[in-house]
Amino acid sequence: MPGIAAKRLAAFTSFLIAGIFTLDNTASAMPAFARDYGVSCNVCHAAYPRLNDFGERFAGDMNYRMANWRDHTVQTGDETLALAKALPLAARMQGFVQARDAESVDPVSGEVAADSSLDFQAPYLLKLLSSAPLTDNISYYFYMIFAEKGANTEVIVEDAWFSYDDLFNSGVGLQLGQFQVSDLMFPREIRMTFQDFMAYRFAGITYDRGVLFGRGFGPVDVSLGLVNGNGITQNYNVTSPGYRRPDHLFDNDTGKSIFGRIGTTIGPASAGLFGLAGEQRNATGPAGLDTGDRDTDKTVIGVDASGRISDGWYWFGQILWNSWDGFLDPAIDYQWTAGFAGVDYVHSDKWVFSALINISDAGDLADTDTIYEGIDMRTLTFAASYFFMRNVKGVIELNVDFLDDEPQSGQYYTGHLTPENYFLVGIDAAF
């Protein structure tokens, strides 16, 4: 990592390495745990999929296991073998009906490929999950998506990792595999709204492959990780163009992204400082749709805060400052910001109400005549969840877009061409 990237990496590393690390593994709702241990979902969830305090400890300090986890394994007479009595599987399914003002516009030609004001999005998601302890220190978690957003022709694996607590009796936890970098702050998988935490997607700090270390020291938690930095969508033949070579590269360059978070909890509130330094390939081609062959420096700095106001009220917020050096033009360093804030109110066992604000500013990426103008965002989302059962809920959600629609201004059809208002109803179940 040459030049300024090396300096950023050195500074960031020295900032994070304090000899103390904490690991935050927060996964999606997992009914297999309730089934295996014979407990209700509300032991870990304030309202599915939002975790309560115990659920966060179960996913973190407890490494996805109860103290009596071996009681739920097959008694083979071999103490070096631990097999769950039942295969630890769970499923999640979502289906929605959505009304919205939206068009699918080709950024280059401007042609409208689709324009529907009433859309039956069912199934929207069909997911298979599995997790279990393997030893006194090792657990695993993964899920497979069989259908998401109408993509019925492929199976996608997103989260897939092993975790090891108390590495070499040091108190350090380790997670190896495929995970979301943003899980260190607010895991997207356990949000209450259909609307996403868009700042994480814009910044490209969702799914990646790598390793994460963590340890706690009193009120301070520190996490430090290393990932490929190119997401999870591609791999490359080793010794290409050789014929039927046996292995693949998952990374497309020699650089890695280093990231971490320092956090603390004071009373009912928690706060943290996040940072990432790495590289990404530049954008090129019409409307910036193509990936170039230049490695460009990428820096993300974030501040997050969350807490409880009173019984049933949960609040959270995140802001990210981003620097994409030379991402479009090699001579320009592009600065932009994004953030979100929200509140969840668990009114009763039946009703949960949520609100979410997404605010993003494309900054130096504005007026570039590329798709990255679309980072601009101003939305307010209201959601109501009605729980038929602990693991089955109906969803009503309204999203209001406060940005004015912008007509085509450059050569390409980019930016905020259509409004992002929507209203949806649906059902979300984990079983």
Tens of pLDDT, residues 333-367: 999 999 999 999 999 999 999 999 999 999 999 99
Predicted TM-score of the model (pTM): 0.89
User: So what's the pLDDT on residue 27?
Assistant: 56
CATH topology of domain 3-430: Porin (2.40.160)
Backbone Cα Rg of the chain: 22
Higher-confidence position of 388 and 114: 388
In this prediction, residue 11 carries a pLDDT of 45
Torsion of CA 381, 323, 249, 16, to 10 degrees: -90
Any alpha helices (H) in 204-255, and if so which ranges?
none
23: pLDDT confidence band, cut at 50, 70 and 90? low
pLDDT over threshold 70, residue 195: yes
- Report the percentage of the chain scoring pLDDT > 90: 59
Instruction: Provide DSSP, 11-63.
Output: HHHHHH-SS-----------HHHHHHHT--GGGTEEETTEE-HHHHHHHTTT-
Q: What is the pLDDT of residue 1?
A: 45
User: What was the pLDDT predicted at 414?
Assistant: 92
Q: How far apart are CA 288 and CA 366, in angstroms?
A: 13
32: pLDDT strictly greater than 80 = no
End-to-end CA distance of the chain: 46
Q: What is the pLDDT of residue 66?
A: 76
pLDDT (average), residues 74-97 = 89
Distances (CA, A) of 183 to 10, 23, 82, 159: 24, 10, 29, 11
